[in-house]
Chain A
């Protein structure tokens, strides 16, 4: 079964410190992986994606994510957190081989709280 797991409901980090939001996936075939962020009363905003190529992908607002095939992980990272990064972060996968290549499977979300 296809699935995405975000093992942490919440991540707390001090402003200026590095942050990591974890994501692991389980799909058949090669995954297309995405990170989205949701600010209060806003929709899901695209941050970055991994399709193929370099395992380290860079995205919006200074975020990056590392694809690790052996660990089936796609953790979101940022070298120096800002208070304005506080939001709900969703990892998602699209499995192109299952026939469901239109469909995004989302994780449960991780709330990031950055403290001044």
Chain B
């Protein structure tokens, strides 16, 4: 069964460093998303991406965040200068279409900023 894969599963970084979280969405999917879950809190939407551009972003997704689809398979989330409060589980998801279809999620990357 096709699945969304994320690497790495756990990333530890020093405050102020740049991190890139990587995702390989399901191959025939067209819509891509990043969500995050701070420990003990809700899963929160960060950004959606379609046709090589951001289609929607939340207020969390400020200038320190960026997304890219550098080739036909990868979808990345970059955090330019990490802060302690960026520590969270980051989930990538993809869907075939926007409406009527469910999003499939990866297993997550746990980011720890120290």
Q: At the interface, yes or no: B75 with Cβ under 8 Å from chain A?
A: no
Complex contact A107–B42 (CB within 8 A): yes
B43, B45, B48, B100: which contacts A44 (Cβ < 8 A)? B43
Complex contact B45–A105 (CB within 8 A): yes
Q: At the interface, yes or no: A28 with Cβ under 8 Å from chain B?
A: no
Complex contact A102–B56 (CB within 8 A): yes
Range of interface residues on chain A?
A: 20 to 34
Query: Which secondary structure dominates chain B's binding surface?
Result: strand
Q: Interface size (B, Cβ < 8 Å)?
A: 27
Query: Which secondary structure dominates chain A's binding surface?
Result: loop
Give the distance in Å from the alpha carbon of A101 to the alpha carbon of B45 in the complex: 12
**A-chain residues with CB within 8 Å of residue B98 when the two chains form the complex:** 101-102
B41, B103, B107: which contacts A104 (Cβ < 8 A)? B103
Supply 22 A–B pairs (Cβ within 8 Å), ascending by A. A34-B102, A36-B105, A41-B107, A42-B107, A43-B106, A43-B107, A44-B105, A46-B104, A51-B100, A90-B43, A92-B43, A96-B99, A101-B98, A102-B33, A102-B50, A102-B55, A102-B56, A104-B35, A104-B45, A104-B103, A106-B43, A106-B44
